Amino acid sequence: MFKHINIICGHYGSGKTNLALNLAIDAKNRGERVTVVDLDIVNPYFRSSDYAKFLENNGIKIICPVQAGTTLDTPALSAEIMSVFDSNEECVIFDVGGDDAGAMALGRYSKKIISLSEYQMFYVVNRFRKLISNPQDSVELLHEVETASGLKATGIVNNSHLCSLTSADDIVSSIPYAQKTAQIAGIPLQFTTAPRYLEYELTGKVKDLYPINIIVKLPWN
């Protein structure tokens, strides 16, 4: 499942950061050496940087935007990011900012990533988010992300959810939407996520189910 470079991109609020953190933990549990690169210099909420201590406590390195976690609205990218391209003996997970604005930061490294050839880019979709609730709209946003980043997505991840209100029926009902999005985009639907508390209920009902822990909390929770 994991390659040397693993990129998580998508619409604001689609759950990219929570997915990136889960992937990082799973890769570490499989014995991989893992680095998370927080490329979100646009949105001050839901950054991987906010979970730096959590990642470090799990033996995962994180590269944060310079001055992330301060009162600065637009932290700068760290020069340390270039170090992740030096060796292919680790799993690197890029948590990219939302939409095309966030993907522009990724574009700085597109030529280097393409030259390595060993990468995958997951476009995360959430049927319940405005602006991407229609498959065609979701694919149009994907093309904007690809243009801004200079990279092509390799797969769709169905991360449809309603935060703590998510039910098994919500997950099942989102699958046709995700399948249609993947069909229009011409790339595979890699997997469908679900909160781990729904795993038993969804086993056998959802193909390529990927249970996740809810690590990222809403600011008011």
| 219 within a domain of the structure (yes/no) | no
Whether residue 144 contacts residue 138, with contact meaning beta carbons closer than 8 Å, is answered with no
Q: Is residue 106 part of a domain?
A: yes
Strand partners, 134: none
Whether 63 is in a domain gets the answer yes
Give pLDDT tens digits for 129-158: 998 999 999 999 999 999 999 999 999 999
93 found inside a domain: yes
Determine contact, residues 181/138, Cβ cutoff 8 Å.
Answer: yes
Q: Specify if 165 maps to a domain.
A: yes
**The domain that contains 22 carries what CATH number?**
3.40.50.300
Stretches where the chain sits below pLDDT 70 are: 43-47, 67-75, 117, 218-221
How many independent structural domains does the chain possess?
1
Kindly state whether residue 218 falls inside one of the protein's structural domains.
no
pTM: 0.92
pLDDT at 67: 58
> What is the pLDDT, as a whole number, of residue 211?
98
On whether residue 124 sits in a domain, the answer given is yes
Q: How far apart (Å, rounded) are the C-alpha atoms in residues 65 and 48?
A: 10
Residue 39 structural domain: 5-212
Specify the pLDDT at position 70.
47
DSSP string for 156-218: EEE---BTBT--HHHHHHHHHHHHHHHHHHTS-EEEEEEEGGGHHHHTTTSTTEEEE---S--
> What integer pLDDT is reported at residue 78 of this predicted model?
76
Residue 54 backbone dihedrals phi, psi, to 5 degrees: -60, -45
Q: Can you read off the two tokens belonging to residue 44?
A: 């001050």
Rounded Cα distance between 60 and 29, Å, is 10
Can you give the pLDDT at residue 188? 98
- For residue 179, is it within any domain? yes
